[in-house]
């Protein structure tokens, strides 16, 4: 029986050793699970923080874009108001009683006899009597005159003149039309 006792003892030692290994394994699994849960919690926290930061950045970019779009829309509306003011000015100039005399004066003072005078269709017929002996061509302009001498052009057209005036006075005109923003 000594052999049987020896075998029983070896089997008992093996069972004890197996139980110890399993206990150690269970402890390791608990430790690993704890680390894993801590790492998952840390990653979730970092992800949540990153998501909140990205969401905040996206929201701020959208707000900035909306403010920029609003300013662009308001500015475009203001320019339309200014454009309308200059359109009304063009209309009033063309309807003015002094307008034909002013155009005739420009031609007389700035167009040498060998030059070509370019006028709108309405102005050409309106000023026909004052342009006797001059070379006249019709031009696609609202009013005023373009003088051509050889290859050189001098543009006194109403659109060019009002455009230059608009560029020069735009800031001042905006302050007059929109005083609430100049404060």
Boundaries of every domain in the chain: 1-67, 96-181
pTM, 2 dp = 0.59
In the prediction, which pLDDT does 111 show? 87
- On the 0-12 / 13-18 / 19+ scale of CB atoms within 10 A, 34 is exposed
Backbone φ, ψ for residue 147 (5° rounding)? -110, 125
Q: 89 near 162, Cβ under 8 Å?
A: yes
Q: CATH top-level class for 96-181?
A: alpha beta
DSSP character for 131?
A: G
pLDDT tens, position by position, for the chain (183 residues)? 688 887 788 888 888 888 888 889 999 999 999 999 999 999 999 999 999 999 999 999 999 999 999 989 988 888 888 888 889 999 999 999 999 999 999 998 988 888 999 999 999 988 888 887 889 999 999 999 999 998 999 999 999 999 998 888 877 877 877 777 655
Q: In what order do the strands lie in the sheet with 152-157?
A: 135-138, 116-119, 144-149, 152-157
């Amino acid at each position: 029986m000594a052999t049987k006792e020896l075998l029983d003892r070896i089997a008992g030692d093996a069972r004890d050793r197996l139980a110890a290994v399993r206990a150690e394994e269970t402890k390791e699994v608990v430790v690993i699970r704890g680390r894993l849960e801590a790492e998952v919690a840390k990653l979730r926290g970092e992800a949540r923080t990153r998501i909140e930061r990205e969401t905040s950045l996206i929201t701020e970019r959208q707000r900035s874009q909306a403010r920029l779009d609003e300013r662009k829309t308001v500015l475009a509306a203001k320019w339309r108001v200014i454009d309308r003011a200059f359109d009304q000015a063009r209309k009033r100039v063309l309807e003015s009683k002094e307008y034909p005399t002013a155009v005739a004066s420009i031609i007389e003072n700035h167009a040498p006899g060998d030059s070509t005078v370019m006028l709108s269709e309405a102005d050409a017929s309106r000023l026909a009597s004052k342009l006797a002996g001059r070379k006249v061509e019709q031009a696609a302009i609202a009013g005023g005159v373009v003088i051509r001498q050889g290859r050189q052009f001098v543009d006194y057209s109403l659109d060019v003149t009002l455009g230059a005036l608009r560029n020069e006075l735009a800031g001042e005109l905006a302050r007059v039309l929109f005083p609430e923003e100049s404060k």
